[in-house]
A and B are shown apart, each in its own frame.
Chain A
Amino acid sequence: MTRTRFRIALAGNPNCGKTCIFNALTGARQHVGNYPGVTVESKSGSFELNGASIELIDLPGVYSLSSSSPEEDVVFQELTKPGIDLIINVVDSTIPRRSLYLTTQLAELHIPMLLAFNMSDDAKKKGLKYDLPKLETYFGSPIVQTVGSRTGGVRPLLEQLAKTLEELEEHGVPMLSYGADIDDAIGEVAKKIDSLHVEKYAHIPSRFFAIKLLEHDTAAMRLKEFQPAQATVEEQIAHLWQKHAIEADTFMADRRYAMLAGACRDAITMTQERRREISDKIDMVMTNKYLGLPLFFLIILLTFWFTFTCAQPLMDCMNKFFGLLNDVIKAKWPETTLPVLRSMLTDGVISGVGGVLVFLPNIMFLFFAIAILEDSGYMSRAAFVMDGVMRKFGLQGKSFVPLVLGFGCSVPAIMATRTIESERDRRVTIMVLPLMSCGARLPIYALVIPAFFGGYSTFKQSLIFVAIYAIGILIALVAARIMKSTLFAGDGEVYLMELPPYRMPMLKSLLLHMWDRGKMYLHKAGTIILATSIILFICNKFPEKKTGFSQDYDAEIAKLSGSEEEIREARIELENQRQAEMMEYTVSGRVGRFLEPVFRPIGFDWKLVTASIGSLAAKEVFVSQLGIVYAEGDIESDGENESLKNKLRKNYTPLQGFCIMLFCLLSIPCLATLAVVKRELNSWKMAVVEAIGLFVLAYTMTLIVYQICTLLGIGTAKIG
């Protein structure tokens, strides 16, 4: 080969097996990113073919180049940019007409093209026979039959690719004709475009843009280079309408399908009666009007069961590992050398990052399970059966799974919203997701409920527990409804979703998907969570109080007398008091004191404020932080601390206890959630809006509850 570098774009419909082929060609050498400004995932990979290095761009799956979705916009931009040497168009050969529709548009670009008739084994089973040479002349491109899902199934594609790359210069020209009337109109507009001499798009035939302009394609009409041709375009459209009653926005679709119908009649034959597909039979049950929903809930349940059963042992291992690591470092690193760094590494970094990293197995298994649901084709059925229910709340079918995941952890749940195509619905789902009470809030409830409501029966206690969750869900649904009619008002995107036939998921693509998401999570733990752990550690530690204690603790400890047991207990008591005083002196303590007047109306004192600030790192930190300010020492965050509960009872009313839970439930989630909101919505503004919005919501709700109940005297008597 004379050239050593090629850029190849992989284009095709959604569900055509494009990703399968991409994975088969590039293996693990992939780069997953985002197109700037939109939340469309960009994927590229590379491989070598006969010594030439090939960059393969996996374009998002689209039905057309009509720019009626962000994906279609991205494909349009990518393909009209210079520098693409070849398009590999993956065609689902079991549904030739629909798949070749995109091909007719790609062919107009006059970029050398190679057609991969994928799933050719299924097509054969269906009884479809292709006259390939005829189709090759028709589209002016070579055609290979592939089976992307089988090892070696892409071999013919590679063989043809090597041949095609050798003779790129002499690629064929498609012979597409849309009928004399329209061909004339295209010719007129193309002539006008030629006279404009647009340098920027010189590499693309004017005919392509002529068709796009005649179709009133928004992406093409936006290009200011072609503005001067607008008059000619309108003239031709008016002419077509008058003479042939042809409507601008759909006539090209009409004609393309008509043309394909002709082509298919000539070149495609059905040798046998098509058997009723298994897929339809499965769907008779899965999307059944009555069975559909119960089956859906069963599958979701199984998914969670699978995730947690598989991940639990690994999580335990990781927990032990980080604990051990802390102990080893503390043992090897003498307390006297660089004590600040020592405790920052162990108590700050390892505890903070480790606390988040232990969720990694959970996330990996969860996304493995989600990938199975997606790749098998069930996810779109789930959306189909859930849509009616979710739409009542301004959400849609695909919002359900992420919302349920939110009970575990908001971070992977927000990552899982990527399956929602509609940008508006996706945004609303992300915005309300933190209201689903995540697992990290559990320790707070586990501390507060027994502390203040311990007198009630276990049944009543669990009712309070359920009530808290229900409040979160209720507010989330109401908020979604409100956001849909205010912030995200207006007509949404048109809803049209394909239900592809069920397919056996491929292990390779499942693993790749799992690895992608895992990597994303690791990245987060390595950057934002690391940074916040260090910052919070510093805030909780500095400035250090060295003098000016209310009593001389060292002297007091020295003075202690009595039995060994008594001395030990008194000593711990004094140490904890000292720690509490030190806490008050630090940045966190001071901020808490400073903000106390703001929080007094919702029943918070500075200690609770300080704990709330600490909980920004992770919600469960609220409990350990409270332990520190109440001089209970650095207690474990499992809430199993009787004396902390006693102290809470002495200092707060049950109403305040409830307000603590309410505020923690509704307020800003951990910073990691905010970071992932920013990432997924691609906007700092939205992340800030989210944080402020939730804070205002939490504050107002708690304020209302606290003030009204105080007025009515509900739960205002201390029980400790």
Chain B
Amino acid sequence: MSETKCSCGCGRAAVGTRRYRIPVGDEITLAELPVGSSGRVVKIKPELRGRKKFADVGLVAGSELKVEAYAPFGGLMRVRVMESSMALHSADAENIVMERSADL
């Protein structure tokens, strides 16, 4: 990825970097889903670090997800997957491609 990484090593983009999210075509990422909406995973991009770890808790193609909440001051989001709540970084969620359902 070409974006400037945060110097603390957290793997997130540097503060102040503008991040545009313009969905192309029918693809929408998990990070773009509004709170309360749900959808089905289409694919997990190979760029996702620790893809296996996400897969192990049920973030695999075909599983149903629901965005439950965002943490204060951004960063973390809370997703319901396989009937349990998991917290993950929205930066990571950008690598999870969702099905664009009719209601969005």
Chain A residues with CB under 8 Å of chain B are 63-64, 66, 68-69, 94-95, 97-98, 101, 215, 247, 249-250, 253-254, 257-258, 280, 283, 287-290, 292-293, 380, 383-385, 387-389, 391-394, 397, 481, 484-485, 488-500
- B61 A254 Cβ-Cβ under 8 A: yes
- A247 B46 Cβ-Cβ under 8 A: yes
Chain B residues positioned under 8 Å from A64 (CB to CB): 52, 56
B25 at the interface (CB under 8 A from A): no
- A257 B60 Cβ-Cβ under 8 A: yes
- B69 A287 Cβ-Cβ under 8 A: yes
Contact of B75 among A290, A292, A387, A393 (CB under 8 A): A387
- B54 A95 Cβ-Cβ under 8 A: no
- A491 B58 Cβ-Cβ under 8 A: no
Among A64, A287, A290, A497: residue with most chain B CB under 10 A = A287
Contact of A63 among B56, B72, B73 (CB under 8 A): B56
Smallest Cβ distance from B90 to chain A, in angstroms? 11
Chain A residues positioned under 8 Å from B92 (CB to CB): 494-495
Closest to A63 in B: B56
- A499 B49 Cβ-Cβ under 8 A: no
14 example contacts (A-B, Cβ-Cβ < 8 A) are as follows A69-B53, A95-B83, A101-B56, A253-B52, A280-B68, A287-B69, A287-B71, A392-B15, A491-B11, A492-B9, A495-B88, A497-B86, A498-B57, A499-B87
- A481 B86 Cβ-Cβ under 8 A: no
A254 to B71, CA, bound (A): 29
- A380 B7 Cβ-Cβ under 8 A: no
- A385 B71 Cβ-Cβ under 8 A: yes
Chain B residues positioned under 8 Å from A293 (CB to CB): 72
Chain B residues positioned under 8 Å from A493 (CB to CB): 50
Chain A residues positioned under 8 Å from B9 (CB to CB): 394, 484-485, 488-492
- B52 A97 Cβ-Cβ under 8 A: no
- A387 B76 Cβ-Cβ under 8 A: yes
Contact of B84 among A69, A98, A489 (CB under 8 A): A98
Contact of B72 among A247, A292, A500 (CB under 8 A): A292
Residues A497 and B87 in contact in the complex (CB < 8 Å), given A98-B57, A484-B10: yes
A497 to B85, CA, bound (A): 8
Chain B residues positioned under 8 Å from A287 (CB to CB): 69, 71, 78
- A385 B83 Cβ-Cβ under 8 A: no
- A388 B74 Cβ-Cβ under 8 A: yes
- B46 A494 Cβ-Cβ under 8 A: no
- B78 A66 Cβ-Cβ under 8 A: no
A394 to B10, CA, bound (A): 7
What 6 A-B pairs are tightest by C-beta distance, nearest first?
A388-B73, A494-B50, A253-B55, A64-B56, A98-B82, A394-B8
B34 at the interface (CB under 8 A from A): no
B30 at the interface (CB under 8 A from A): no
Among A94, A253, A485, A497: residue with most chain B CB under 10 A = A253
Closest to B46 in A: A247
A288 to B71, CA, bound (A): 8
A95 to B84, CA, bound (A): 7
A647 to B50, CA, bound (A): 62
Chain B residues positioned under 8 Å from A215 (CB to CB): 52
Closest to A96 in B: B83
Chain A residues positioned under 8 Å from B74 (CB to CB): 388
Contact of A494 among B54, B81, B83 (CB under 8 A): B54
Chain A residues positioned under 8 Å from B87 (CB to CB): 380, 383-384, 387, 495-499
Chain B residues positioned under 8 Å from A397 (CB to CB): 76
A-B contact number at CB 8 A: 144
Chain B residues positioned under 8 Å from A280 (CB to CB): 68
A458 to B4, CA, bound (A): 49
Closest to A255 in B: B60
- A388 B53 Cβ-Cβ under 8 A: no
- A485 B8 Cβ-Cβ under 8 A: yes
Contact of A249 among B51, B57, B71, B76 (CB under 8 A): B51
- B54 A496 Cβ-Cβ under 8 A: yes
- A388 B55 Cβ-Cβ under 8 A: no
A257 to B44, CA, bound (A): 15
Smallest Cβ distance from B65 to chain A, in angstroms? 13
Given contact pairs A101-B56, A292-B71, A499-B85, enumerate 14 new A-B contacts (beta carbons under 8 Å): A66-B53, A280-B68, A293-B72, A380-B87, A385-B72, A387-B75, A389-B72, A491-B49, A492-B11, A496-B50, A496-B53, A496-B87, A498-B85, A499-B87
Contact of A388 among B49, B68, B75, B82 (CB under 8 A): B75
Closest to B76 in A: A387
Contact of B57 among A63, A489, A490, A491 (CB under 8 A): A63
Among A287, A387, A489, A495: residue with most chain B CB under 10 A = A495
- A484 B8 Cβ-Cβ under 8 A: yes
Among B7, B55, B58: residue with most chain A CB under 10 A = B55
What 0/1 pattern do residues 27 to 44 of B give for CB contact below 8 A with A? Answer: 000000000000000001
A290 to B89, CA, bound (A): 19
- B57 A388 Cβ-Cβ under 8 A: no
A384 to B85, CA, bound (A): 12
A489 to B6, CA, bound (A): 11
A292 to B76, CA, bound (A): 13
- B55 A254 Cβ-Cβ under 8 A: yes
Contact of B44 among A68, A250, A492, A497 (CB under 8 A): A250
- B78 A384 Cβ-Cβ under 8 A: yes
Smallest Cβ distance from A664 to chain B, in angstroms? 29
A473 to B56, CA, bound (A): 38
- B75 A496 Cβ-Cβ under 8 A: no
Closest to A98 in B: B82
Closest to A253 in B: B55
Closest to B50 in A: A494
Chain A residues positioned under 8 Å from B82 (CB to CB): 95, 97-98
Closest to A257 in B: B60
- A384 B71 Cβ-Cβ under 8 A: yes
- B86 A499 Cβ-Cβ under 8 A: yes
Smallest Cβ distance from B47 to chain A, in angstroms? 12
A388 to B91, CA, bound (A): 13
Closest to B81 in A: A98
- A94 B76 Cβ-Cβ under 8 A: no
Closest to A15 in B: B84
Contact of B52 among A68, A292, A488 (CB under 8 A): A68
Chain B residues positioned under 8 Å from A484 (CB to CB): 8-10
